[in-house]
């Protein structure tokens, strides 16, 4: 055969495999509003940057009629490419081929690209659209998942791992994403569960739809398993690309610096906090007022909204923001918001991203539900994560910093490098009303007019403690600052912390409260 003929033969073979499960299966996929695995990869990566590997891999299964089945690419596409120039390893499961189910060779393809990602120290994106372990391949499929989970864990904190859920994902197809850093879901397309509605019905007799059980909204709002929610695959891919711009390629580098931009905030930071301390405000307005171009990229926006986390830039440098949200539950820490904050703090610490904490919260949420749900161990995660983090850590107390909240939200005592407070800050063991009721109980009870006496004592307490100056007098707060100076002061704090080095005692690893 001439070379030309060899090339034509190669092209024909490729074309056939690239059709995945064939025209009918692709039509079914498209009818569900889903892109194909190949289209998804091409939509995420820079144009013409994708190089595929293992296209010709075939399964070796024989049981249950598998010896007669040809599964193109064994139901998964792997390769490398770039996103805005950043090198990326990527895989996409192809639901048109045996429901994207994971057999031995399918798993080997995924572990091959994971090994590349770890060796080359570049981010890994996994697009999951799979019915989980391929039933016909028995223990080989389970072995495949185990090898993926192992690599997810070893790569954790070394390279960014991003999971995209774009179909009905069951069993192992959701445990691997759960071990990764960021999970993206799309409304009406993503479903995640360990056991599907069928199993639930047969075991428990309960009826529930796939959407209600594990739809995108459920995971973005209720379980917290998803970090980003999108209305369409296109929007989801834009979110992934934007995330890539904020994070470094691996844990030995820093996120790419962008050209410095001024904030575009139209208002005045002094006008955000209401004069009545009982009134809420949106802390995201403060963040937007501080960061370059007002561009704040929020993570887990719909879950545990009493805390806000996400990335922004200060003069082109990526910063991780953690902020209490007075708009929701007065910004308290509870089980979910503690988990959300702690995990993000650990992410920033692993990937050399400085953390800015904005504090306004009355403490941990009281109540039987919270206590029984384990708020002690969940809340302790925040203490652990801040104490352990060695990246530059700066706190600005905007308003309330009461009790455990004062300590937990990156206080000086947990290792904050710089502590600033707005003049509106109130730093105390508890709010003035509660405190006056306890420490002046006797005077209030014995007074002729207890309400009047209570008001006097509350005022007395406020004047004494509900301000930043007691803490500033003790050096716990480095500086009381004007709101409009916040950006410049943060810029300076981050700039002078660039060479920060902290060495904790050598250990294999800590044992954080789970
Ligand atoms: C083999 C599978 C499969 C699987 C789907 N298919 N899941 N083949 N093993 N696990 C095949 C179907 O036979 C069908 O093949 C094609 O994929 C499309 O599936 P449908 O059922 O027609 O699609 P749909 O109605 O959209 O339902 C999708 C689904 C459902 C919800 C994912 O297929 C399903 O429930 N699958 C089983 C899920 C599951 O229990 N997986 C095992 C989890 S245990 P044809 O040839 O007809 O097109 C696990 C172990 C690891 O993963 C645990 C680690 C901790």
Token pair for 68: 């007669």
DSSP 164: E
Place of tokens 């995971």: 219
pLDDT reported for residue 260? 94
Q: What is the pTM of this model?
A: 0.95
ipTM: 0.97
CA-atom Rg of the chain in angstroms: 26
Domain span(s) for CATH 3.90.226.10 in the chain? 3-246, 269-429+467-496
The atom of ligand 1 lying closest to the CA of 191 is 31
pLDDT reported for residue 436? 86
Q: Supply the residue whose CA is at minimum distance from atom 54 of ligand 1.
A: 172
Distance of alpha carbon 374 from alpha carbon 381, whole angstroms: 11
The atom of ligand 1 lying closest to the CA of 210 is 31
Q: Give the CATH number of domain 269-429+467-496.
A: 3.90.226.10
* Ligand 1, CB cutoff 6 Å, lining residues: 98-99, 101, 131-135, 142, 145, 168, 170-172, 175, 196
CATH 3.30.1360.30 fits 3-246, yes or no: no
Sign of the four-CA dihedral 425, 427, 430, 434: negative
Which mean pLDDT values do the consecutive 10-residue runs of the chain (514 residues) have? 94 96 96 96 98 95 89 97 98 97 97 98 97 94 97 98 96 94 98 91 94 97 98 98 98 96 88 91 97 97 98 98 97 97 98 98 92 96 98 97 94 97 92 86 90 89 87 96 97 96 94 94
Burial annotation 317-352 (CB, 10 A radius, 16+ → b, else e): bbbbbbbbbbebbbbbbbbbbbbbbbbbbbbbbbbb
d(CA 135, ligand 1 centre) in Å = 8
d(CA 29, ligand 1 centre) in Å = 14
pLDDT reported for residue 286? 97
pLDDT reported for residue 466? 83
Q: Residue 345: name the closest of 306, 299, 302 by CA.
A: 299
């Amino acid at each position: 055969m001439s070379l030309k003929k060899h090339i034509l033969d190669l092209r024909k073979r490729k074309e056939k495999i690239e059709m995945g499960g064939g025209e009918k299966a692709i039509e079914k996929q498209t009818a569900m509003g889903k892109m194909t695995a190949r289209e998804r990869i091409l939509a995420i990566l820079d144009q013409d940057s994708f190089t595929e590997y293992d296209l010709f891999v075939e399964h070796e299964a024989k049981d249950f009629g598998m010896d007669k089945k040809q599964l193109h690419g064994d139901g998964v596409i792997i390769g490398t490419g770039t996103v805005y120039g950043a090198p990326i390893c990527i895989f996409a499961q192809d639901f048109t081929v045996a429901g994207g189910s994971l057999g031995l060779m399918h798993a080997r393809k995924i572990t091959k690209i994971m090994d590349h990602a770890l060796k080359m120290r570049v981010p890994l994106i996994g697009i999951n659209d799979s019915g989980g372990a391929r039933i016909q391949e028995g223990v080989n499929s389970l072995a495949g998942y185990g090898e993926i989970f192992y690599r997810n864990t070893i790569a954790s904190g070394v390279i960014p791992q991003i999971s995209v859920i774009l179909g009905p994902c069951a069993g192992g197809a959701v445990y691997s994403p759960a071990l990764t850093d960021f999970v993206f879901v799309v409304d009406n397309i993503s479903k995640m569960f360990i056991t599907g509605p069928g199993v639930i019905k047969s075991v428990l007799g309960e009826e529930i739809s796939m959407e209600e059980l594990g739809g995108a909204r459920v995971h973005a709002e209720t379980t917290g398993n998803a970090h980003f929610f999108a209305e369409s695959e296109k929007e989801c891919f834009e979110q992934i690309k934007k995330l890539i711009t904020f994070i470094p390629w691996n844990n030995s580098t820093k996120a790419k610096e962008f050209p410095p931009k001024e904030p575009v905030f139209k208002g005045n930071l002094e006008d955000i906090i209401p004069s009545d301390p009982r009134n809420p405000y949106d802390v995201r307005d403060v963040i937007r007022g501080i960061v370059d171009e007002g561009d704040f990229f929020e993570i887990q926006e719909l879950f545990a909204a009493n805390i806000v986390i996400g990335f922004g830039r200060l003069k082109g440098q990526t910063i991780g923001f953690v902020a209490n949200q007075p708009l929701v539950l007065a910004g308290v820490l509870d089980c979910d918001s503690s988990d959300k904050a702690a995990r993000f703090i650990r992410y920033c610490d692993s990937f050399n991203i400085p953390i800015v904490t904005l504090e306004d919260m009355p403490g941990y949420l009281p109540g039987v539900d919270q206590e029984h749900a384990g708020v002690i161990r969940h809340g302790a995660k925040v203490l652990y994560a801040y104490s352990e983090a060695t990246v530059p850590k700066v706190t600005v107390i905007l308003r309330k910093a009461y009790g455990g909240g004062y300590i937990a939200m990156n206080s000086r005592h947990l290792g904050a490098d710089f502590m600033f407070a707005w003049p509106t800050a109130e730093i105390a063991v508890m709010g003035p009303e509660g405190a006056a009721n306890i420490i002046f109980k006797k005077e209030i009870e014995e007074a002729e007019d207890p309400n009047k006496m209570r008001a006097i004592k509350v005022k007395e307490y406020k004047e004494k403690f509900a301000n930043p100056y007691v803490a500033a007098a003790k050096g716990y707060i480095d500086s009381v600052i004007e709101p409009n100076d916040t950006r410049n002061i943060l810029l300076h704090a981050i700039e002078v912390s660039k060479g920060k080095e902290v060495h904790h005692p050598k250990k294999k690893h800590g044992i954080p409260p789970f």
